[in-house]
Homo-oligomer: A and B are copies of this chain.
Amino acid sequence: MKRTIITIGRQTGSGGREIGVKVADALGIPYYDREIVSRAAEMSDMTEEFINAHDEKKSGSLMYSLVMDNISPPISSIPSNDRVFLAQFNAIKEAAKEGSCVIIGRCADYALEDDPDLLSIFIYADYDFRAARIQEETNLTGSGLRNLIAKTDKSRSNYYNYYTGKKWGKMTGYHMCLDSSKLGIDTCVKFICEIARDRK
């Protein structure tokens, strides 16, 4: 198989993570989700615990844009969320350099947008499908369940929009977008694997 870097953005409860794990397994390539946190910790002066506490949370400051413009403020003046984003951004680029892999969330599609071997995917699903999956994982029901889904999506969306300047879940930002509740998890897995194997 030609080198393929598969990034997966996903709505909460859509099964994006499960699809990513199964695709990586079927293709025999590494899968990165929380592993990006460990890599970011190894490559920076931050601990895994510190990174976890700021994972996929956006900053309220403008310091990030200075760093991305190669204007380097003193490291101590960069807000924690921005430092965590930048450490993960670098960890994602390093992971992709090692060869084919699947990376979940964390704006990986943005970090790797210039990679010619990128296959950028977004997984979504209807609300009932997502609620049933999250209920099974958490035992939450009613407003607790609804709040968790809404808050997790909102947090991912805020983080993505803030750091990428693009819009989370807008189709034109991805190479393909699949409704796992309509197509089925296994069809999504099969389809993604075949596209990866067919790449020339």
Q: Which residues of A contact B (CB under 8 A)?
A: 120, 122, 124, 169-172, 174-179, 182-183, 187, 190-191, 194-195, 198
Given A191-B194, A194-B194, A174 and B179 touching (CB < 8 A)? yes
Residues of B within 8 A of A172 (CB): 124, 179
Whole-angstrom distance between the Cβ of A190 and the nearest chain B Cβ: 8
Q: Which of B120, B176, B190, B195 contacts A176 (CB 8 A)?
A: B176
Residues of B within 8 A of A194 (CB): 191, 194
Known: A171-B171, A176-B176, A187-B198. 14 other contacts (CB 8 A): A120-B182, A122-B171, A170-B171, A172-B179, A174-B177, A175-B178, A175-B179, A175-B182, A176-B178, A176-B179, A176-B183, A187-B195, A191-B194, A191-B195
Residues of B within 8 A of A187 (CB): 195, 198
Complex CA distance for A175 and B125, rounded to whole angstroms: 9
Given A124-B171, A171-B169, A195 and B179 touching (CB < 8 A)? no
Residues of B within 8 A of A182 (CB): 120, 175-176
Residues of B within 8 A of A177 (CB): 171, 174, 176-177
How many copies the complex holds: the figure is 2
Nearest B residue to A122 via CB reads: B171
Complex CA distance for A187 and B197, rounded to whole angstroms: 12
Residues of B within 8 A of A124 (CB): 171-172
Nearest B residue to A176 via CB reads: B178
Whole-angstrom distance between the Cβ of A88 and the nearest chain B Cβ: 24
21 examples of A-B residue contacts, CB within 8 angstroms = A120-B182, A122-B171, A124-B171, A170-B171, A171-B177, A174-B177, A174-B179, A175-B178, A175-B179, A175-B182, A175-B183, A176-B177, A176-B178, A176-B179, A176-B182, A177-B177, A187-B198, A190-B198, A191-B191, A191-B194, A191-B195
